[in-house]
A and B are shown apart, each in its own frame.
Chain A
Amino acid sequence: MSAMLEVKNIQVGYGKIIAVKDVSVTVNKGEIVTLIGSNGAGKSTTLRTISGLIKPRSGEILFNGKRIDGIPGHEIVGLGICHSPEGRRIFPRMTVKENLELGAFLRNNKGEVAADLDRVLTLFPRLKERIEQRAGTMSGGEQQMLAVSRALMGAPQLLLLDEPSMGLAPVLVEMIFETIAKIRQQGITILLIEQNANAALEIADRAYVLESGVVKISGTAKELRADDKVTKAYLGH
């Protein structure tokens, strides 16, 4: 197994607030790895740092063995890291199609992009029906599908998903998780943040539990599901 992403002891802050104190995460090729933890634990900040939206104050991030911390955010996606951010952040005044095209902003091979468009629309048939609709007028679930699809349009090796099930009806949550499993089968490695720890541990290979900006527990998903502390605090058993 080779490490695709190695986050080593990063510290990240906003002004005086230190959001991530010391986080190390490794994601191997082909895995689904999940970050769980309560609100404000520093999960989103960790993903934003990987994507280059914020610079870490210390520590390093390696992608396929090369350091990527310090590379400007808009160049990260070109390396093969695509990020579906917290709160969806689709472009509300653009159509579904335009949103998806923006996901492929850096790609020049029109044929490949068209093939990927077909692929995501097969994955989310609902979006196909809405293709000319303005994204801001869609339901929360549809917007979430669009956010994930838009990230897929960047042809990622590594897909970062920040709470893709947030605010969705239970049926849709299930559907999103099934889709995540399908995406992995297509050969894409996934780093997933979830509030819904149960569902995340179902599909993940390994997991990290974050608390107040540090990694508290880590291990295989199976180990964590059996861990008393984890089940009490996060799985609600």
Chain B
Amino acid sequence: MAKVSESKKFTGTPGQIRRQRIEQSGAIVITLLMSVWMLVNLVKAPEQFVQVAISGLRNGLIYALIALGYTLVYGIIELINFAHGDLFMLSAVFSSFFITYWIGADQSNPKGWLAFASCLVVVMIFGAVVNVLIERLAYRRLRNAPRLAPLITAVGMSFLLNFIGLKWNGSTPRQWPTVIPSGDIYIGEIRISLITLWLFLIGLPLLLALNYLVTNTKQGKAMRATSQDKDASTLMGINVNKTIAFTFALGGAMAGAAGLLYQQSIGTTSYNLGFQLGLIAFTSAVLGGIGNLWGAVVGGLLIGLIQGLNDGLPYAFGQQWSQSVVFTILIIILVFRPAGLLGKVTTEKV
């Protein structure tokens, strides 16, 4: 969907040219079909359309924040960190306990707002520290081991965190009070909840800050170098271990923030959240092109949007088909763009 309109020149061998043609025409067909679907709905129920789109994007923002952790770690050590979804779950539980029990805030008043603000800082640190510890204790030793070893370790780590979540949160979902202003505002006929506004006010600057860090700072440059060649990076004077730990810290901090935002917007936590949202966030990362930061963001927002539209529009499959629709679209997109929407098929092999 991303690159349909630009008329690019086809280059390469006949096979590659054919592949590019197929990719492009496939992308055009998909985009057309989706546009028609959206247009029909937009005409039929414009207010409803905008409203479900916004709430879809709100969920998408949370997916995007989690997806960044998958993509950052994959980008730097080519590991699918299965434990990442569970780190998000632990962050949500942590936020709940922090705000409700440790600070003792249970409604939207200055105390509640303060609890929320301090929780944002603390839970991001929590996510970062836990993720760095996981890397240090479990993955680092296996960095040069065959691929399967760290992958299985990540699965094991996911079980471990899941178990901690089970003990901490309990086996049944728990309800928590929301401590940020939660009414609705109206723009014309369109109702937007304040919580949605809060989510974007916090989530978007986080995304921009992360992007700035990775593209414009020395640390970010070290990350990009490390992701391409670890030995060569060492020869440049880059501390590869520290850089990888820093990457885990960034991903963990994003998962921490996502945990708090989820907990405050949905109001419920359960120990298997990590599996549910982790899977969707991982899908977002793959959809956008794993390893690509903006890909994770675009993928997350897109999946949130599609889910929102599918669940809430008059002409759609409805909520019970939500997952099926998301994964069908994932498969179709990957057939035409195997490296994801913004990912590039790497051809350089040194």
Q: Does A13 make an interface contact (CB < 8 A)?
A: no
CB–CB A91/B237 < 8 A: no
With A89-B350, A102-B221 known as contacts, the answer to whether A154 contacts B231 (CB < 8 A) is no
Q: Does B192 make an interface contact (CB < 8 A)?
A: no
Q: Does A90 make an interface contact (CB < 8 A)?
A: yes
Q: State how many angstroms separate the Cβ of B12 from the closest Cβ of chain A.
A: 13
Number of A-B contacts defined by CB within 8 Å: 74
Q: Does A141 make an interface contact (CB < 8 A)?
A: no
With A91-B229, A94-B224 known as contacts, the answer to whether A83 contacts B350 (CB < 8 A) is no
CB–CB B350/A87 < 8 A: yes
Give chain B residues whose Cβ lies under 8 Å from the Cβ of A101.
Answer: 221
12 extra interface residue pairs, beta carbon distance < 8 Å, beyond A88-B350, A136-B348, A151-B235? A74-B233, A74-B238, A74-B240, A77-B236, A83-B235, A89-B350, A91-B228, A91-B232, A92-B348, A93-B224, A103-B236, A136-B350
Q: Which of B213-242 contact A (CB under 8 A)?
A: 218, 221-222, 224-225, 228-229, 231-240
Which of B232, B233, B234 has the most chain A CB atoms closer than 10 A to its own CB? B232
Give Cα distance in the complex from A41 to B236, angstroms. 26
CB–CB B237/A53 < 8 A: no
Q: State how many angstroms separate the Cβ of A59 from the closest Cβ of chain B.
A: 21
CB–CB A89/B236 < 8 A: no
Give chain A residues whose Cβ lies under 8 Å from the Cβ of B237.
Answer: 74-75, 77-78, 105-106, 154
- Taking Cβ atoms with an 8 Å cutoff, the residues of A that contact B are 51-53, 72-75, 77-78, 82-83, 85, 87-94, 98, 101-103, 105-106, 136-137, 150-151, 154
CB–CB B231/A94 < 8 A: no
CB–CB B228/A92 < 8 A: yes
Give Cα distance in the complex from A85 to B236, angstroms. 11
Q: State how many angstroms separate the Cβ of B219 from the closest Cβ of chain A.
A: 11
With A74-B239, A77-B237, A154-B237 known as contacts, the answer to whether A102 contacts B231 (CB < 8 A) is no
Other-chain contact of A94, B222, B228, B234, B240 (Cβ < 8 Å): B228
CB–CB A53/B221 < 8 A: no
CB–CB B228/A93 < 8 A: yes
How large, as a class, is the contact surface on chain B? 20 to 34
A-facing mask of B321-350, CB < 8 A → 1, else 0?
A: 000000000000000000000000010101
With A74-B240, A136-B348 known as contacts, the answer to whether A91 contacts B225 (CB < 8 A) is yes
Give Cα distance in the complex from A74 to B238, angstroms. 5
Give chain A residues whose Cβ lies under 8 Å from the Cβ of B222.
Answer: 105
Which of A77, A90, A91 has the most chain B CB atoms closer than 10 A to its own CB? A91
Give chain B residues whose Cβ lies under 8 Å from the Cβ of A151.
Answer: 235
CB–CB B221/A89 < 8 A: no
Give chain A residues whose Cβ lies under 8 Å from the Cβ of B350.
Answer: 87-90, 92, 136
Q: State how many angstroms separate the Cβ of B71 from the closest Cβ of chain A.
A: 15
A-B contact pairs, 29 of them (CB 8 A): A51-B235, A52-B234, A53-B231, A53-B234, A74-B233, A74-B234, A74-B236, A74-B238, A74-B240, A77-B235, A77-B236, A78-B237, A83-B235, A85-B235, A89-B229, A89-B235, A89-B350, A91-B224, A91-B229, A92-B350, A98-B221, A102-B221, A102-B225, A102-B233, A105-B222, A105-B236, A106-B237, A136-B350, A151-B235
Other-chain contact of B232, A52, A89, A154 (Cβ < 8 Å): A89
Q: State how many angstroms separate the Cβ of A163 from the closest Cβ of chain B.
A: 14
A-facing mask of B76-88, CB < 8 A → 1, else 0?
A: 0000000000000
Q: State how many angstroms separate the Cβ of B271 from the closest Cβ of chain A.
A: 40
Give chain A residues whose Cβ lies under 8 Å from the Cβ of B228.
Answer: 91-94
Give chain B residues whose Cβ lies under 8 Å from the Cβ of A75.
Answer: 237
With A91-B225, A91-B229 known as contacts, the answer to whether A53 contacts B348 (CB < 8 A) is no
Give chain A residues whose Cβ lies under 8 Å from the Cβ of B238.
Answer: 74, 102, 105
Give chain B residues whose Cβ lies under 8 Å from the Cβ of A93.
Answer: 224, 228, 346, 348
* Chain B residue, CB-CB nearest to A153: B236
Q: State how many angstroms separate the Cβ of B143 from the closest Cβ of chain A.
A: 14
- Sorted nearest first, the 5 A-B pairs with minimum C-beta distance are A136-B348, A106-B237, A89-B232, A73-B234, A77-B237
* Chain A residue, CB-CB nearest to B224: A94
Q: State how many angstroms separate the Cβ of A90 from the closest Cβ of chain B.
A: 7
Q: State how many angstroms separate the Cβ of B212 from the closest Cβ of chain A.
A: 17
Give chain A residues whose Cβ lies under 8 Å from the Cβ of B240.
Answer: 74
Which of A74, A77, A83, A93 has the most chain B CB atoms closer than 10 A to its own CB? A74
Q: State how many angstroms separate the Cβ of B238 from the closest Cβ of chain A.
A: 6
